[in-house]
A and B are shown apart, each in its own frame.
Chain A
Amino acid sequence: MHSLLQKFGRLLVIWLPLGWLGIFFMLPLVEMVNVSLSEARRAVPPYNPAFQIGKDGISFQPVVDNYLLIYEYWEDYLWPAVNSVRLAFFSTLYCLLFAYPMAWWIARSNKSLQHILLVLILMPFWTSSLLRMYALIGLLNPNGVINDFLIWAGITVTPIQMMQTDFSIYSGMILTYLPLMILPLYASLVRLDNSVLEAAADLGAKNWDIFRTIILPLSMPGVIAGCLLVFIPAVGEFVIPALLGGPEQLMLGKVIWTEFFRNRDWPVAAAIAIILIAIIILPIVYARYQDKESIS
């Protein structure tokens, strides 16, 4: 009886989240593919589903017009896509450069300090992201706190333009995504055995050499995980550039939003989203494949 209960419990623990993922993650994705292959119409919902279960039984009549449309007007989508990938790339790079020394420092602190520092890292997540962006605007505005201080201190006469620049955008991106980079880096650095570093020093390696030949390669899983965790949501990000950047920064996320809500063209919006997913996932799959190759 007891073991039966245990077995049931084990099945529940595994299958409940899996079922949850299947229903609430996989099905919407499938539905999005479905929408992207459907025809737009003026009705509710604003498309004629390609795959349908109705009175007349099951029907599947996919159309590729939406993808063809994107292909036809590719120039309209290329620059937002380039903007998004560039934003995601540099956000990931800056986060990595900021996060690595911090993660290293946390991982090398004593255990009790580590816990405090990790909580501090996660603290920004306790407030809404939007609120934090407005706080940043309050700091960076021409009449914001920083400019007020610089003018008061006599360092500058006129306010320095910080809003609507790359600086403001990347400040917002780093503010939002840094913890996602620090945590996996910390997790891989904290497992690094101190005697391995001492062995390297003992064998004649100086600081930079130890970092390059031992620490960096051994923390690579953390680097990869952190970069993926930042890059993937950053590609779809459009709120931060919209709030902190200039009007010329059109992001793919914004284009999708416009298609969905302004043009009410769900199929085209879905098709862009699917292409975006493909652009993100293919390099990852490729990297995984390469990884397997190098192991065997």
Chain B
Amino acid sequence: MTPFIRIQNISKKFGKLLAVDDVSFNLERGELFSLLGPSGCGKTTLLRMLAGFEKPSEGYIEIDGQNMANVDPADRPVNIMFQSYALFPHMSVSNNIAYGLKRASLPSDEIKARVEELLRLVHLSGMGARKPSTLSGGQRQRVALARALARRPKLLLLDEPLAALDKKLRSETQFELVNIQEQLGTTFIVVTHDQEEAMTLSTRIGVMDNGKLVQTATPNEIYEKPETRFVADFVGDISFLEATVIERTGKYWLMEAATPIYAIGSSTLTSGMKVSLAIRPEKITLTSQSTGHLNEFPVEIEDWAFYGAGTQYKVIGPDGIKLKVYQSHNQPSHANPRHLETGFVHFSPDATIILEG
């Protein structure tokens, strides 16, 4: 079976700059896929190629079996929601939403019914006559969404859909967006630089760096099993330890990183190999006394920051190795551990991620 959306070996050059470098991935119908990466990584260029505003230098895009190479933006079964929303300022909310329907020359009563339906969908019923300038940021975002959905696109592209909203509104809108996507079953591609947004929204995430798609996986896999140092670092907080492989001992590999560390790893490792060990802050436990766990060593506490639900520590271990440690306040003993100046940390061998090379 051919995939619903196939992006095959797409590259885009602007002069000498290679903005998108040989990107391939497929999407199934109804997926909510995020393109995640820092600004300038090429994710927006890729989105613009999907919408048809840029022509790929190499490669091709297929949507529902149809090659998009020579299809104008106006004729693609794709619609885009711009980061700036790009609402038509001189038109009412209803006319904004109806714009694409009128281009399709639908009968006016059908347009009217569809606009009403979309206004209901984005909870803006009764606001149809308003001008965009009289709406709040959140309302404008929903008008933009309704307008982009009006033509029932096979693929909806969303460029930083939540970036212009404040934090509280952003998390509400996130759920709203997922709701609408599930309700309609439309395939979404969201471009974002916000890893939290990508995590909460998507069924799958593609992480981009420097024009390349470096990893495509579910949010859980991206977080727990990053394949490169870039992905590990970009998605969530993490600490790195440079280590040398010593030997295999039973289930685990013994490593040397200023202190002996047991880690879980594949059998491709060999003695003497240099690797990076990555550990998420919440997988490390900080105690005032030694507990005799595996992978335990003494640390000095350099700094801490109170986050309400927990506290983040910066600690320094033997040989100056630096770690970030996050202690949730879910246990009374952890509620106020700030007086510590020295302590012990330990983490399970299963919590480590081994990044080769």
Interface residues of A (CB under 8 A from B): 193, 195-196, 198-206, 209, 213-214, 217-218
The interface residues of chain A lying within 8 Å CB-to-CB of B73 are 198, 201-202
10 closest A-B pairs by beta carbon, nearest first, are: A204-B103, A203-B100, A195-B86, A199-B86, A201-B73, A195-B82, A196-B86, A204-B74, A217-B90, A203-B99
Indicate if B84 sits at the interface (CB-CB under 8 A).
yes
The interface residues of chain A lying within 8 Å CB-to-CB of B52 are 202
Considering only residues 118-154 of chain B, those with a C-beta below 8 Å from chain A are: 147-148, 150-151
Bound complex: CA of A217 vs CA of B72, how far in Å?
Answer: 24
Instruction: Tell which of B72, B82, B90, B151 touches A199, judged by Cβ atoms closer than 8 Å.
Output: B82
Instruction: Tell which of A196, A202, A204, A206 touches B80, judged by Cβ atoms closer than 8 Å.
Output: A202
Contact A203 B90 (CB under 8 A): no
Provided the pairs A204-B74, A205-B74 are in contact, do residues A198 and B99 lie with their beta carbons within 8 angstroms? no
Contact A204 B53 (CB under 8 A): no
Considering only residues 61-118 of chain B, those with a C-beta below 8 Å from chain A are: 72-75, 78-80, 82-84, 86-90, 99-100, 103-104
**5 sampled A-B residue pairs with Cβ under 8 A:** A195-B86, A200-B88, A202-B80, A204-B75, A204-B100
Instruction: Tell which of A195, A198, A205 touches B103, judged by Cβ atoms closer than 8 Å.
Output: A205
Bound complex: CA of A199 vs CA of B88, how far in Å?
Answer: 9
Bound complex: CA of A209 vs CA of B88, how far in Å?
Answer: 14
Indicate if B51 sits at the interface (CB-CB under 8 A).
yes
Provided the pairs A200-B99, A203-B103 are in contact, do residues A218 and B74 lie with their beta carbons within 8 angstroms? no
Instruction: Tell which of A198, A205, A206 touches B82, judged by Cβ atoms closer than 8 Å.
Output: A198
Interface centre among B53, B103, B147, B150 (most CB of A within 10 A): B103
How many residues of chain B are within 8 Å of chain A by beta carbon? 26
Contact A199 B80 (CB under 8 A): yes
Bound complex: CA of A87 vs CA of B225, how far in Å?
Answer: 77
Provided the pairs A203-B147, A203-B151, A204-B103 are in contact, do residues A198 and B74 lie with their beta carbons within 8 angstroms? no
Bound complex: CA of A198 vs CA of B104, how far in Å?
Answer: 17
The interface residues of chain A lying within 8 Å CB-to-CB of B74 are 201-206
B103 closest partner in A (C-beta): A204
The interface residues of chain B lying within 8 Å CB-to-CB of A196 are 86-89
Contact B151 A204 (CB under 8 A): yes
Bound complex: CA of A200 vs CA of B148, how far in Å?
Answer: 10
The interface residues of chain A lying within 8 Å CB-to-CB of B100 are 203-204
B150 closest partner in A (C-beta): A203
Instruction: Tell which of A198, A200, A206, A214 touches B53, judged by Cβ atoms closer than 8 Å.
Output: A198
- Write the nearest CB–CB distance from A261 to chain B, whole angstroms: 49
Contact A193 B86 (CB under 8 A): yes
The interface residues of chain A lying within 8 Å CB-to-CB of B79 are 202-203
> What 9 new A-B contacts, CB under 8 Å, besides A199-B147, A202-B80, A205-B103?
A193-B86, A196-B87, A200-B99, A202-B52, A203-B99, A203-B103, A203-B150, A204-B103, A218-B90
Bound complex: CA of A209 vs CA of B104, how far in Å?
Answer: 12
Bound complex: CA of A195 vs CA of B82, how far in Å?
Answer: 7
Bound complex: CA of A174 vs CA of B52, how far in Å?
Answer: 40
Contact with A along B151-188 (1 / 0, CB 8 A): 10000000000000000000000000000000000000
- Write the nearest CB–CB distance from B185 to chain A, whole angstroms: 21
Bound complex: CA of A29 vs CA of B292, how far in Å?
Answer: 98
- Write the nearest CB–CB distance from A214 to chain B, whole angstroms: 6
Provided the pairs A201-B74, A202-B79, A204-B104 are in contact, do residues A195 and B84 lie with their beta carbons within 8 angstroms? yes
Bound complex: CA of A203 vs CA of B74, how far in Å?
Answer: 6
Contact B82 A218 (CB under 8 A): no
Bound complex: CA of A202 vs CA of B51, how far in Å?
Answer: 7
Bound complex: CA of A198 vs CA of B88, how far in Å?
Answer: 11
- Write the nearest CB–CB distance from A226 to chain B, whole angstroms: 18
Interface centre among A198, A214, A217 (most CB of B within 10 A): A198
Bound complex: CA of A202 vs CA of B88, how far in Å?
Answer: 13
Bound complex: CA of A27 vs CA of B281, how far in Å?
Answer: 78
B79 closest partner in A (C-beta): A202
The interface residues of chain A lying within 8 Å CB-to-CB of B88 are 196, 199-200, 214
Bound complex: CA of A213 vs CA of B74, how far in Å?
Answer: 15
Contact A193 B80 (CB under 8 A): no
- Write the nearest CB–CB distance from B141 to chain A, whole angstroms: 14
Bound complex: CA of A206 vs CA of B105, how far in Å?
Answer: 13
Bound complex: CA of A195 vs CA of B84, how far in Å?
Answer: 8
The interface residues of chain B lying within 8 Å CB-to-CB of A218 are 89-90
Provided the pairs A198-B53, A201-B74, A202-B73 are in contact, do residues A209 and B86 lie with their beta carbons within 8 angstroms? no
Bound complex: CA of A213 vs CA of B90, how far in Å?
Answer: 10
Bound complex: CA of A200 vs CA of B95, how far in Å?
Answer: 12
Bound complex: CA of A198 vs CA of B150, how far in Å?
Answer: 16
The interface residues of chain B lying within 8 Å CB-to-CB of A200 are 88, 99
Contact A198 B86 (CB under 8 A): yes
Bound complex: CA of A206 vs CA of B103, how far in Å?
Answer: 9
- Write the nearest CB–CB distance from B72 to chain A, whole angstroms: 8
Bound complex: CA of A204 vs CA of B100, how far in Å?
Answer: 6
The interface residues of chain B lying within 8 Å CB-to-CB of A206 are 74
Bound complex: CA of A209 vs CA of B52, how far in Å?
Answer: 18
Bound complex: CA of A201 vs CA of B73, how far in Å?
Answer: 6
- Write the nearest CB–CB distance from A215 to chain B, whole angstroms: 11
Bound complex: CA of A44 vs CA of B74, how far in Å?
Answer: 73
The interface residues of chain B lying within 8 Å CB-to-CB of A193 are 84, 86
- Write the nearest CB–CB distance from A103 to chain B, whole angstroms: 19
Bound complex: CA of A193 vs CA of B82, how far in Å?
Answer: 12
- Write the nearest CB–CB distance from A21 to chain B, whole angstroms: 32
The interface residues of chain A lying within 8 Å CB-to-CB of B148 are 202
A205 closest partner in B (C-beta): B103
- Write the nearest CB–CB distance from A236 to chain B, whole angstroms: 33
